[in-house]
Amino acid sequence: MKLLAIVAHPDDADIFCGGTLAKHADRGDSIAIAHMTKGEYGGFETTEADIAATREAEARRSGERLGASDVTFLGFPDGRIEYSLENRLSIVETIRAADPDLILTHYRDDMHPDHRITARLVTDAYYMASLPLVESDYGPCDPDNVYFFGKPTSSFEPTVHIDISGYEDRKAAAIGEHESQVAFLEEHGGIDAEFDNLIDGVAAEDATRGKRTGVASAEGYVPLHDRADAFLG
């Protein structure tokens, strides 16, 4: 099986679906992580280029911890991703190049604009990727499903919970590779409560989901199609 996580920023894959990716990698599945941006707005007192270089290196190290065989960066500007046909076709190209069975990405209801736009682009590109007359460097592909992850909101209510018990430390270590971002978020603060202690906050949220579903720790998803729920596990 091939999984493709398309995320807005370095560290998003680790935070939202790191346990799931590591679990599938250990099963022998192919794991790819595509970052829309390099997260160049996530820092203080330096240049965007310097931040981008640091965050790319961190994301590559975290990808190795999770077992990803491919870690890419799509070149969209951090904080400025726009919805357009051109950008949608760019994501079609990304999906076709990976030819995944399953796609993991952001849920549409999210405070961060990059997360919201990424959700729209990926969802619409998912449909277009299978159309033979959509031109690209790769042939059509037809992934089985898209799974959306997100922060707790009024509308994000996961219906699929993946047991990541035993992967908590590996997920925490992957998040910890984003050393510059962990420090930035803790100093930035005030937007999301978990930023006060990012790694512990994510672990607590996973533990809460796990308690609700009878396991030690879990990550939650909303599938685009109910028919393919069983493929992610």
- Taking only the tens place, the pLDDT of each residue in 120-142 is 999 999 999 999 999 899 999 99
Can you name the residues that pair with 70 across neighbouring β-strands? 32
Q: Mind spelling out the 3-state secondary structure of the chain? A: CEEEEEECCCCHHHHHHHHHHHHHHHCCCEEEEEECCCCCCCCCCCCHHHHHHHHHHHHHHHHHHHCCCEEEECCCCCCCCCCCHHHHHHHHHHHHHHCCCEEEEECCCCCCHHHHHHHHHHHHHHHHCCCCCCCCCCCCCCCCEEEEECCCCCCCCCCEEEECCCCHHHHHHHHHCCHHHHHHHHHHCCCCHHHHHHHHHHHHHHHHHHHHHCCCCEEEEEECCHHHHHHCC
Q: Which two tokens stand for residue 162?
A: 């993946």
Q: Say what the pLDDT of residue 152 is.
A: 80
- Taking only the tens place, the pLDDT of each residue in 204-215 is 999 999 999 999
Q: Give the residue extent of every domain in the chain.
A: 2-231
With cut-offs at 50, 70 and 90, classify the pLDDT of residue 190: very low
* 193 has pLDDT over 50: no
Rounded-to-integer distance, Cα 120 and Cα 83, Å:
8
Write down the CATH number for the domain with range 2-231.
3.40.50.10320
- pTM score over 0.95: no
Q: Say what the pLDDT of residue 1 is.
A: 95
Q: Say what the pLDDT of residue 60 is.
A: 97
